[in-house]
Structure 1
Amino acid sequence: MPKTHHLENSLAAIVLCGGKSTRLGIDKTQLIFHGQTFLERVVSQVEKVCHPVILVGDPDFSQHQLPPNVQWATDEKPNCGPLEGIRVGLAKLAPQVDFAFVTSCDVPLINPELVRFLFHKIADHEAVVPVSEERIFGMTAVYRTKLHQRIDQRIQNGQLRVSELANSFQAHQIPVNLLREIDPELDSMTNINSAVDYFNLLKRFGLELPPKLQDRLEEKP
């Protein structure tokens, strides 16, 4: 019979904060939604089901005011993309917890119940990863923290695609259509990558562009 795992004290969260936000012109973590920065929003959502929460990003990212009660780590290997952030986060968390949910700082509509659902599907698997016919969502997934050593080996071999993890580990691949009952629009897997994405998000919720951002975005709707 597959093992069941209790959420409390078992599942942490890794929030990836790397990337240069070149399509936005400003640090996307500082975009504002419902009075919170994206980073504050993502952390507050995953904290409902995950502890601890660790942020992983570039060394200069820590200059921002970080949410309270979060851990912080930096990428140790340059030019390795988000896979290095996942590796660092898993390695830092391995002494504390057995599992970690991975997301990124530009997913302000992350749904805690989807995180809970994925975790409860882990059983004896090494990972739980949503998939569609077109895409593997390796950055909205649950991983065993001990996998950091095998990810390190993949990085050393130049295998840097996060999407390949689902087929490299004993992963339970969840069709995204099964997640729509919890997250009908699959917002938990929707990144805000551009000014157009951000303006569309605000429009969807009937929000105005915050005054402090009006002169900072390079693109206009």
Structure 2
Amino acid sequence: MGTAKASLDWHGAALLTRTVAVLGRAVDGPLVVVRAAGQELPELPPGTEVVDDPVPGLGPLPAIGAGLAAVAGRAQAAFVASVDLPLLHPAFVARVLDLRGEHDVALPEAFGHHQPLAAAYATALAPVIDGLTASGQGRPPSLFDRVAVRRIGEQTLRSDPVLARLDPDLASLTNVNTPAELAAARARPLPAVRLVEGGVIRTVRARTAGELGRPVAVAGGTGPLPPWFPLVTGDELEGV
């Protein structure tokens, strides 16, 4: 990609900043970024916690375990997302978390692949993951073979009317690994949001609050949104 994915520009905000902010809109618990040791990160939403990947280069499982351990005791489950999901929607996050039920993992399976970096995990799995990584196993399937996994197909995801309305194509699972994929994601239609100003309701399109060119707040909220605040289809905003 020519630069670290975390710092890639996404319509005026770093890609990592957007991903964390979207997750913050979907959950009411702590937000944790797991980074490579010493990795420089872009500015993150206030309150974001940062921990280091304990076993760099082994695979994503050690980082997942570190994130789960960081929130254990404060949350029973966590949504784990890779940094490169520029079209992630809070409704997708909420749907996957809801579908976990009593399972250890809620694992979406869509577009011919399982999606371990857009999945929900019980935070109690942190010690299990520690044991696996200590034995040199860093790929998520090594965990899935040992715990209760609910595998969620596209039809089940779309059966939720909210997600079907706000993310019918499951664009939340679009990741970007090449400049061409990033360009294609940037070229997709911008989110359609409702903006109320002076009693007039308009539908406008923008990726971030700053793109609207005026101070706005979430309808019924207080205070203007920061420029990096990610907008998603279905948002209702008002001028301030």
Normalised TM-score (structure 2): 0.70
SS of the aligned residue for 1:47 comes to helix
Residue 199 in 1 paired to residue 179 in 2?
no
Tell me the distance in 1 between the aligned counterparts of 2:74 and 2:103. 19
SS of the aligned residue for 2:182 comes to helix
The answer for the alignment partner of 2:20 in structure 1 is: 43
Give the deviation of 1:148 after TM superposition. Answer: 0.7
* Equivalent pairs, count: 184
Contact kept in structure 2, 1:42 and 1:108, CA below 8 Å:
yes
Give the deviation of 1:187 after TM superposition. Answer: 1.9
Mapping of residues 72-83 of structure 1, within 5 Å:
72-83=50-61
Letter in 2 for 1:88: A
The answer for the alignment partner of 1:65 in structure 2 is: 43
Which has the larger share of strand?
2
Give the deviation of 1:153 after TM superposition. Answer: 1.3
The answer for the alignment partner of 1:126 in structure 2 is: 104
Unaligned stretches of 5+ residues in structure 2: 191-240
Letter in 1 for 2:14: T
Contact kept in structure 2, 1:137 and 1:163, CA below 8 Å:
no
The answer for the alignment partner of 1:114 in structure 2 is: 92
Q: Aligned match of 2:82 in 86, 104, 107?
A: 104
Contact kept in structure 2, 1:110 and 1:189, CA below 8 Å:
yes
Deviations 1:165-215 (A, max 9, x none): 334311111112332462322222221111111111222237xxxxxxxxx
The answer for the alignment partner of 1:184 in structure 2 is: 168
Q: Aligned match of 1:152 in 130, 149, 152?
A: 130
The answer for the alignment partner of 1:219 in structure 2 is: none
Give the deviation of 1:158 after TM superposition. Answer: 2.4
Structure showing greater relative contact order (alpha-carbon pairs closer than 8 Å, 6 or more residues apart)? 1
Normalised TM-score (structure 1): 0.76
Tell me the distance in 1 between the aligned counterparts of 2:42 and 2:184. 26
Give the deviation of 1:39 after TM superposition. Answer: 1.2
Aligned residues: CA RMSD: 2.0
SS of the aligned residue for 1:154 comes to helix
Deviations 1:93-120 (A, max 9, x none): 1122111000011111111111111111
Tell me the distance in 2 between the aligned counterparts of 1:186 and 1:170. 24
